[in-house]
Chains A and B, each alone.
Chain A
Amino acid sequence: MTVIMDIAVVALRILLPVYAIVIVYQCYASMRRRRRPEKPLVLLHNEVTNLKIPVLFWENSLGRSKGSDIFVDDPAVSRNHCVLLRRKEGWFINDTGSKSGTFVNGEETFGRTQVYIDDKITVGYSTFTFKRGEEYTERLGPTWFFSRVSNKPAIKPFLLLFMITLFHLFMSVEACYTNDVQDYTPLTVFACLAAVEWVFFFVSTMILKRVNFELESLALFLTGIGVILLVRQELRSAYVQLIAAVLGMILFCVIIKIIENPDRLAKFRIYLMILAVGLLGISIIFGKISYGAANWITIGGISVQPSEFVKIIYIIVGASSLDVLQTKKNLIEFIVFSAICVGGLAIMGDFGTALIFFATFLLMAFMRSGDVKTVILAISAAIFGGTLALKFKPYIANRFAIWGHAMEHPQDDGFQMARVLTYIASGGLFGVGIGNGCLKYVFASESDLVFGIVAEEMGIIVAFTIAIAIAALIIYARSVTTRSRSTFYSITACCAAGLLVIQMSLNIFGATDVLPLTGVTLPFISLGGSSMISCWGLIAFIKAADERTYAVKR
């Protein structure tokens, strides 16, 4: 009898990794489907040369420079002459400091000027007639991610979420029968989790009328794994984590709403920066020092990590629409803001988060300016700063000293990493079963070392699947940006995805001794309310970059 039970338990453990792979595959497969065909939005027709230029994006640079979206081979046109952009209200043209000016129907334009079908746009010696996209009849080459976009209907969003809920149910059932405790508390947590998942689904599809739910499904999948793993570690934390996830979902919706109009948002940039600096300032002054880093503040019994929310503001502040990018080329304001953020985090001793900000800064600075010099300069500055940090914070130097040798120091500096490695190896491919792990008794295992818990209890296959699912956000973000409504969305989506993946890498590789331990969280999985909320906030940028998010409701 026990053998039959044992076989059933093992069968479930083998099922979960396979199932996890199927779910992650389905999430990404659905993301690729159901898109509008690649067609020009409008057309610029030079009636003298009879040249028809398709306009593909929502924001297009026009100029003599070869990299321009609308390339005009005319010596009187500036390299970055103007930007043609689409907004809810229609199409606009904005001169970005050209020498000869931009004219619509013969009148010189200042600032954003609306253009209508059949208007004449004059730049330099060239005049274009603004036409509808349908008049362009040639075929366009498809982008690689969409090169073989299946016409098969994607898995229905509710079916995908049903699969995910079922996965969480299996996890909970497994958690009911641990070696030490057998009771049904995991099912109670599962019931709450399932309720949250489905309420969010109905709000999204029925009230907000969004057509797709894959990105949210992926985030729910990861969130749920984290919550259920906590049940056998500390039940209360599981509920706290779930509440944080709900707050995160609310923030997710709020951010999508806020950034609906990036032009309006631009006016609030300075206030956002002040808010960010203020939040960091509060942590520095009132921050509670916990294990080296003073990044927690406690308000009314609830601990908050303000730096997590600064991440979101940082992403918003760093991005702009194309015409702003072309007029205001220098990065000084953004560099100063970044330096304050990174410096503030360094003062708090939170070098892991400082490193995340810095890497995000590199991504953002490069996407804005394409300036390799700035990037090299920033890296040099960071190496200098890092060396200083090593000098003044000896505990960081210790982490570097132990780096790569954790197994040789399992009782002192390598304590945590050595246990992570031992228990990952103990877990094998399918894990020792949810709730049966030993790593959960190690300090900070629920946050910094959570990758080890996943690998120990659910096996390395699930752990790798989760890691790859998060890493694939980069590919998804990059692909949706080809259709974004503004460079603001392209930059925020790519940088948010980059930030999440950098953070995940620091977490996973820090815990497994591939990199020095930095003590950052694993997105969506690690215990930590602020972290959970900010992760949901960050994927809102990826969601917003998807052209369909703000599309006309069905």
Chain B
Amino acid sequence: MKRTLQRSWLIFFVALAFLVGLGYFTFMLLTHNTDWVDQAYNGHISGSGGLAQAGSVYDRNDNILAQTVDGQRVYNEDEGIRTALLHTVGDNSLNISTAVQSMYRSELIGYNFIWGVGLPESLKIKNDIKLTVDAETCKAAYEQLGDRSGACVIYNYKTGEIICSVSTKSYDPEAPPEITEDNADQYEGVYLDHVLSSSYIPGSIYKIITCASAIENIPDYDTRVFHCEGSKNIGGSEVTCMESHGDITLKEAMACSCNIAFAELAVELGKDKMTEMSKKMGITSTYRISGAETQIGHYDVTQANENELAWSGVGQYDDLVNPMQMAIICGSIANGGKTKTPYIMDDATSFFTKLGITLPGTEEDALVNPDTAAKLKEYMRYTISDYYGDYLFGGLTVCAKTGTGETGEGKEPNAWMVGFCIDEDCPLAFACVVEHGGIGFSNAGPVAEAAMIQAARSLGASELQ
């Protein structure tokens, strides 16, 4: 009997295993409960019913972007602002998964783990959310984008605050369209926030990365002279340029966006160096922007031949970049190599934040070396000051690069403009893309211009004329 009793201790292992499992589940529950609740299928919070008791959403100047009045969800009274901020604020549905009203719905309706979502309506305590965006800036960017598909993002590279985030195509959240087969073209990709969730062929803006690699790996990069005749045979096929640039330095090649110079550099640097710099500058990684993950870009030349490698250096081949990612690269260059991760609201929902514990900051690693950043800044400044002209940005000291990403299939190229302002009281980095918009400067340029000027105004920048 004694022996049987001793052996029966084995069943305590069963109890122990159970307790371990229960402990693990409790830990998961405590750390993940808001993520679990914020699901599109959650019957307790879905539909406008879920927002019937939700708190308000404000922009940086306390303009109301969304609020509940008598059980109805209403948005900003200006239709332009409503539509511009659709992808940032969200609508009554949970269709736009990265929007604040989708990702933080449980916060808005006052979910907390103690009470769940089950409190009777009369006893619920709702929460308000204040965003870092400026409604007027978003509206300005939206008006320039119009009904073209595209994205425009501006953020403060010193603090990380996102001032402007607009994705088109868009619609008025107070009159959401019913998307059928007939109007599917008109609303293609409308549920995606292109700033975060899309990637595009970059074209010449990728020369920033190629240039960075050249600066760090080629000793005579600054003095070397490139020769452009409008096209050149590299690796058995032609690499073409917009025009014949003649003899130019790297700085001039950057300004006039000479394909031949950067194609030659890409081949000279080789696959490893190009891939290394793409990785270092974050093309192949993702960022968490207030809980939403950015789309990963693409740079993979492992299967590429020499000609394709050449094209990859000017942002063609199968290169892809995400607008937020490009803005972060520009912000890093402006800020001496490092930047704060952009955010649209304070991450007040994490378990640790709720307990009042601040985890060590998540500042991004340096994307470029400080010396390289300084050189890139010089080149990108030259592009605006000596090539396009400073009149563009209403007196702001802007450094930028345009891009025209050929998409083939007989469609217009993607128009890009990315850059940053180096004025002390206007530390803004931007990335604008117009999908199938045409030439970068003439199509993305006006979007960037309008948004940057409005953003600088909202910051009260003194250089603005």
Contact = CB atoms under 8 A, between A and B. Distances in A.
A211 interface: no
Nearest to A497: B11
B122 A2 contact: yes
B113 A429 contact: yes
Contacts of B113: 425, 428-429
A515 B21 contact: yes
Contacts of B8: 367, 478, 481, 490-491, 494
Contact of B122 (A6, A69, A430, A478): A6
Nearest to B22: A467
A345 B37 CA distance: 37
A349 interface: no
User: Size class of B's contact patch?
Assistant: 35 or more
B116 A428 contact: yes
Interface in A309-360: 322, 325, 359
A59 interface: yes
B38 to A, nearest CB: 9
A422 B38 CA distance: 8
Interface in A430-452: 430-433, 436, 438, 441
Interface string B114-131: 111111111100000000
A490 B4 contact: yes
Nearest to A471: B18
Contacts of A185: none
A219 B158 CA distance: 63
B5 interface: yes
A9 to B, nearest CB: 6
B14 A431 contact: no
Contacts, number: 171
A407 B35 CA distance: 9
B293 to A, nearest CB: 12
A367 B117 CA distance: 47
Nearest to A487: B4
B116 A430 contact: yes
Contact of B123 (A3, A438, A491, A504): A3
A422 B39 contact: yes
Interface stretch (B40-48, B248-256, B311-319, B451-459): B40-48
A430 B5 contact: no
Interface of B is mostly: helix
Interface in A180-227: none
B12 interface: yes
A471 B41 CA distance: 33
Interface residues of A, number: 72
Contact of A370 (B1, B7, B120, B123): B7
Nearest to B124: A6
A309 to B, nearest CB: 22
Nearest to B34: A425
A6 B111 CA distance: 17
B357 interface: no
Nearest to B112: A428
B116 A425 contact: yes
Nearest to A504: B18
Interface in B103-151: 111-123
Contacts of A427: 116, 118
Nearest to B11: A498
B6 A67 contact: yes
A534 interface: no
A426 B10 contact: no
B15 A471 contact: yes
A526 interface: no
A426 B37 contact: yes
A515 B1 CA distance: 36
A370 B39 contact: no
Contacts of B391: none
A22 to B, nearest CB: 20
Interface in A492-520: 494-495, 497-498, 501-502, 504-505, 508-509, 512, 514-515
A27 interface: no
Contact of A490 (B5, B33, B41, B117): B5
Nearest to A451: B25
Chain A CB within 10 Å, residue with most, of B2, B12, B45:
B2
Contact of A475 (B3, B15, B24, B34): B15
Contacts of B29: 424-425, 460
Interface string A32-69: 00000000000000000000000011111100000111
A38 B463 CA distance: 93
B10 A363 contact: yes
B21 A431 contact: no
A464 B29 CA distance: 13
Nearest to B1: A57
B69 interface: no
Interface of B: 1-12, 14-15, 17-19, 21-22, 24-25, 28-29, 32-37, 39, 41-45, 111-123
16 contacts: A3-B122, A61-B1, A61-B2, A67-B2, A67-B3, A367-B4, A367-B7, A421-B32, A426-B42, A429-B113, A430-B116, A468-B22, A490-B1, A494-B8, A495-B11, A514-B28
Given A424-B36, A438-B44, 15 more contacts: A2-B122, A7-B123, A57-B2, A61-B2, A322-B4, A418-B41, A426-B116, A427-B118, A430-B116, A471-B15, A474-B11, A490-B8, A498-B14, A501-B11, A501-B15
